[in-house]
Structure formats: structure tokens, C-alpha cells
């Protein structure tokens, strides 16, 4: 059967289509559906052998999938089925696993082989690749792409390929450190409270003294009797001003106090770098 098809193909290449068609039809006519089917089967039969010799097993497999269809001649299907089994056995496959800079596995990775897109995400399934040297390009959103030159050997199945991106989504930010009360805020608050206390004392004493003068000598009190009351009122006003200013200052210092850096205990909580048994050195 193969010899008949080869004669047909040589006749086609030399432009003798009619001769080739008659020759093949005499053997294959019982299973032939249409002339278009015959043309498609013969073309796939020929192209599969060409691609296979060049090492293009992926393209050869596509052609063989055509000539094993029920519309193709029985004898052609037998040869193509046998070749398809041989191509499947020789076709290498790879399984890709990717991790970000923090060691976390990521799946939203685009994979290109020789500039051709072969995967938009990783699902753990094997990817078929022609044997030979290939340029692998890996992309992850938020990370720099990774490029590798990898030699894939014929018949190598489920080769594990590991890729690690140099950066990725940052881990959760650590909690803010403590904000201790500044000593100055405590001092100012103490001054403010003491000053307000003094204001209350001197204010009350000035009122009491004024009531006493009104009872004892008003309205004939001498200036010397009234001077202590004026002094007490001045002291009370000063204490009030100092108290208010001190309390406002204490509030400002307290609210604007800096955050003390956290103790370096968070470093121990970060995940330790572990050996990566799946990673392949390219």
C-alpha cells in the first residue's frame, strides 16, 4: 500500500496527477468517499512523512490525524495509524510549575515556545513540544518575564520544568509598631493640671477676700487693702493661661508622637527558603 501511495505522490510531484489518481483509485476505490477526500488523504499522507523526517512531530501528528479518518482509504489509514502511534511515542511532553519570589505557586502564567503561545495558564497538564532546542518564555503579571533555552529530547515524557519569577505580589504588610506616650506630653499635662489648680485656688481666694472687704470696710476701704486682691487675680489669670497652653501643647505632642519600629520578630515569622526538589537547572 505504501509503495502505491509513494508512486502516486511521485507522479503528483512530476505533474502526472491523472496517472497517480488512476493508480491509487484502482487499489483504494472501495473506501474512497470523494475526490476531495482522496486529495486530502494523499496530501496528509505525504506531508506527515516530510514533517516527521524534519523532526516536526507536532505537525506530522496533525497530518496523520487527517489520514486516519474514516473517509480515507483503508490501506492508508492502516499506515497512518501505525505512524501516529510511533509519533505519539516519540513526541516529548513537559509539565511546567511556576513560583513567585516568595515561593508561592502561581498558575496565571503565559507560556510561549519559540514565540508561539502554548498556554495561557498552568493547569498541571503536559504540553507537547517538538524535540530539539527551544526558547521558552514565561510571563506573570507584576513580575519580570523569564526566558530559558531548553533542549527537549525525543521520547522524553512529562519532563518537569520549574520556573521562579524574581518578584511578585508583596506579602501582607506587618502591623504598625507601638506609639509610646512621649515624656514631654506627660510633663506638659502635669504643668497644665497644676496651673489650672492654682488658677482655681487664687481665683477663689480673690473672691473671698473681695467679699470680706465689702463686709468690713466698703465703701471706705483703702487701696492698700485692695492691692492683695488685684495681685491674686493677676496670678489666677496667669495660671489659667499657662494651664491652657500646657494642656494644648501636651495634646499636640501626644497626637504627633512617632511610631516606634517593631521588634525584628516578624523576620522569624517569614517563610524560610526551602529546597525546591522540582526545580530543574537549565
What ranges do the domains of the chain cover?
A: 2-90, 93-164, 183-255
Q: Is 178 exposed, middle or buried (0-12, 13-18, 19+ CB in 10 A)?
A: exposed
Please give the helix or strand (H or E) that residue 159 lies within, else none.
strand 159-164
- Convert the pLDDT of each residue in 252-262 to its tens digit: 988 888 877 65
Percent of the chain topping pLDDT 90: 43
H helices of 14-163, in order, are 17-28, 35-54, 57-67, 74-90
* Pair 202, 209: CB distance under 8 Å: no
- Convert the pLDDT of each residue in 199-239 to its tens digit: 898 888 888 888 877 787 777 777 777 778 888 889 889 98
Whether this model's pTM surpasses 0.75: no
Q: Taking the CB of residue 257, how many other CB atoms lie within 10 A of it? A: 14
Q: Confirm or reject CATH 2.60.40.1120 for domain 93-164, answering yes or no.
A: yes
- Convert the pLDDT of each residue in 96-130 to its tens digit: 999 998 899 999 999 999 999 999 999 999 999 99
Q: Does residue 153 surpass a pLDDT of 90? A: yes
Examine residue 269 and say whether the peptide bond preceding it is cis (omega within 30 degrees of 0).
Answer: no
* Pair 195, 246: CB distance under 8 Å: yes
Only one residue has cell 505519539, namely: 88
Amino acid at each position: 500500500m505504501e509503495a502505491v501511495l509513494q508512486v502516486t505522490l511521485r507522479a503528483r510531484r512530476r505533474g502526472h496527477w491523472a496517472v497517480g489518481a488512476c493508480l491509487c483509485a484502482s487499489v483504494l476505490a472501495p473506501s474512497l468517499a470523494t475526490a476531495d477526500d482522496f486529495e486530502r488523504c494523499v496530501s496528509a499522507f505525504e506531508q506527515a512523512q516530510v514533517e516527521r523526517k524534519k523532526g516536526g512531530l507536532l505537525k506530522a501528528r496533525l497530518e496523520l490525524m487527517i489520514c486516519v479518518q474514516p473517509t480515507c482509504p483503508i490501506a492508508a489509514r492502516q499506515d497512518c495509524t501505525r505512524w501516529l502511534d510511533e509519533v505519539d511515542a516519540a513526541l516529548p511532553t513537559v509539565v511546567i510549575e511556576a513560583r513567585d519570589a516568595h515561593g508561592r505557586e502561581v498558575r496565571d502564567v503565559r507560556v510561549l515556545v519559540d514565540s508561539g503561545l502554548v498556554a495561557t495558564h498552568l493547569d498541571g497538564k503536559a504540553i507537547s513540544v517538538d524535540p530539539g532546542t527551544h526558547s521558552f518564555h514565561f510571563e506573570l503579571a507584576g513580575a519580570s518575564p523569564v526566558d530559558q533555552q531548553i533542549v527537549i529530547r525525543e521520547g522524553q515524557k512529562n519532563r518537569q520544568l520549574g520556573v521562579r519569577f524574581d518578584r511578585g505580589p508583596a506579602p501582607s504588610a506587618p502591623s504598625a509598631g507601638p506609639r509610646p506616650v512621649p515624656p514631654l506630653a506627660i510633663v506638659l499635662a502635669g504643668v497644665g493640671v497644676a496651673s489650672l489648680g492654682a488658677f482655681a485656688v487664687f481665683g477663689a481666694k480673690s473672691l473671698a477676700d473681695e467679699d470680706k472687704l465689702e463686709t468690713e470696710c466698703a465703701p471706705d476701704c483703702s487701696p492698700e487693702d485692695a492691692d492683695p486682691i488685684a495681685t491674686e487675680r493677676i496670678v489666677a489669670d496667669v495660671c489659667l493661661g499657662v494651664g491652657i497652653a500646657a494642656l494644648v501643647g501636651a495634646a499636640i505632642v501626644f497626637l504627633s508622637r512617632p511610631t516606634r519600629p517593631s521588634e525584628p520578630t516578624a523576620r522569624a515569622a517569614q517563610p524560610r527558603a526551602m529546597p525546591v526538589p522540582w526545580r530543574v537547572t537549565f
